[in-house]
Amino acid sequence: MLAKISSGKSVFGVLAYNKIKVEDNQADVLYSQKMFNPPDGKFSIHDCMDSFYPYLAMNNRTEKIVFHASLNPDPKDKLSDEQLSEIAQSYMEKLGYGNQPYIVFKHTDIDRTHAHIVSLRIDEIGKKINDSYEVARSMKICKELEQEFNLVPLKKGQRESDTPTKKIDYKAGDIKHQMGNIAKSVMSHFYFQSFGEYRTILEQFNITVEEVKGEYKSKPYQGLIYSVIDDKGDKIGVPVKSSKFGKSVGYDAMQKHFEHSKSAIEKNRVRENLRPIIAKAMKGANNINDFKSLLKEKNIGTIFRKNEQGRIYGVTFIDYQNQAILNGSRLGKEFSANQFQHLFNDSPVKEERLEKEVNYKPQQEKLSSPSLNLSGITDAASSLFSLFDIEPQSENYEDVAFAKEKEYEEKQRQWKAKRRKPGRQI
């Protein structure tokens, strides 16, 4: 089981994220402790905020008051609601949150059923819950729970992974958290040697990144800004500075990753392995779609960049087996964009090859790439091929959520002016 923990400032925001899932029938309330239970049994942000308010009122110094964790059992673990609830309760008890108010949601928005837990990092007297070595303690607890509940243990190297299973979902909200997780996952699991290659792999998740350089008070600065994009590549919402996600996805970390990737690609002989495979596909393909299909069979993704006139000016290969991204020019002149322009756009249409010559039957391929089940590859890598099948977003859901939060804050101000009505039970 994999546990992912995050902190935040907005209690409303994390509750709104889970409420959207509930309203979309992608989540249910599984369990709650020290929370007001509405008479109709329906999840209510207002009731949750009422439950948290006595704790929030006592807070003096803690800035990031929100505790938000997700518990992710292996898909092979077929757990009942009662079992998942017991696991969540045991996890909170062992981590030191056993006496806190919290609510547990069961999420079914992806293939792997998992739980989200929302609580506070301050107790009833305003003291912060001990979070020292929290990640290490969480990992140890997960191992204990795997044994107690006979769960499938995680493979070595997966415990610190935070891998998304699909591209960013703007409608789901919590955009910054989604962006941060995806960027960290890409930085952790893929090799790339240039800013362009990094941006290319991020764009498969509907995220783009820009370099910013300048001078402030006579001192030069460099940084990265991340943005959500739609399927056409147009930006959506407000860009976010890398500092909001942490140093691991900042400019300096990216530069260090380039050097690390260069060594790893050379050590694993990625270029030497790719060249004959791509050359064979070039020889056996009648057109671009055939070419992509041939490489897809070898677990290699292909991304062509074209100008408005349809001319190919760039090509990038994603080797999912070795988790490496390389521009065609890195493989040699014979794999550059100009070569593919000449092969597929400038040359006369090739004569149809007999099936026996290439031992392959071309299939119609969408612009998206189908999901693969590759052993030894992270969820992020194996799912990139299936990222392109969501509907275009017609509303700015982030703005809607912001407006709702402001409306709620106004109601809270009015409510605080009155005395709490007696007789309400927890």
Indicate the number of domains in the chain. Answer: 3
* CA-wise closest residue to 210 among 185, 315, 202, 218: 202
* CA-wise closest residue to 121 among 142, 97, 103, 137: 97
Structure tokens at 113: 């059923």
Tell me the C-alpha distance between 152 and 216, whole Å: 52
Among residues 229, 249, 265, the one where a domain terminates is 265
Tell me the C-alpha distance between 123 and 100, whole Å: 7
- Tell me, yes or no, whether 97 and 232 share the same domain: no
Q: 123-127, long-range: CB within 8 Å, 24+ apart, which pairs?
A: 123/55, 123/99, 124/54, 124/55, 124/58, 125/58, 126/55, 126/58, 126/59, 126/60, 126/62
Residue 65 falls inside a structural domain: yes
Residue with tokens 């960290």: 184
Tell me the C-alpha distance between 343 and 352, whole Å: 15
- Tell me, yes or no, whether 28 and 80 share the same domain: yes
- Tell me, yes or no, whether 260 and 281 share the same domain: no
Residue 103 falls inside a structural domain: yes
Residue 20 falls inside a structural domain: yes
pLDDT tens across the length of the chain (426 residues): 989 898 888 999 899 989 988 998 889 999 999 999 888 878 999 999 999 999 999 998 899 999 999 999 988 898 999 999 999 999 999 999 999 999 999 998 776 789 999 999 999 999 999 998 898 899 999 999 999 999 998 765 454 444 444 788 777 777 888 888 889 889 888 999 999 999 999 999 999 999 998 887 788 889 999 999 998 889 988 999 999 888 889 999 999 999 999 998 998 899 999 999 999 999 999 999 999 999 999 989 999 999 999 999 999 999 988 889 999 999 999 999 999 999 998 755 444 443 333 343 333 333 333 333 333 334 444 444 333 333 333 334 444 455 555 566 666 666 666 655 555 544
Residue 382 falls inside a structural domain: no
- Tell me, yes or no, whether 131 and 186 share the same domain: no
Residue 142 falls inside a structural domain: yes
Alpha-carbon distances, residue 75 vs 59, 70, 152, 310, 379 (angstroms) = 39, 15, 9, 43, 12
Whether 246 and 185 have beta carbons less than 8 Å apart is answered as no
Whether 106 and 28 have beta carbons less than 8 Å apart is answered as yes
Full domain range(s) for residue 343: 270-363
Tell me the C-alpha distance between 222 and 212, whole Å: 6
- Tell me, yes or no, whether 130 and 13 share the same domain: yes
- Tell me, yes or no, whether 245 and 138 share the same domain: no
Looking at residue 151, which CATH number applies to its domain? 3.30.930.30
- Tell me, yes or no, whether 129 and 256 share the same domain: no
pTM confidence score: 0.50
- Tell me, yes or no, whether 238 and 298 share the same domain: no
- Tell me, yes or no, whether 201 and 284 share the same domain: no
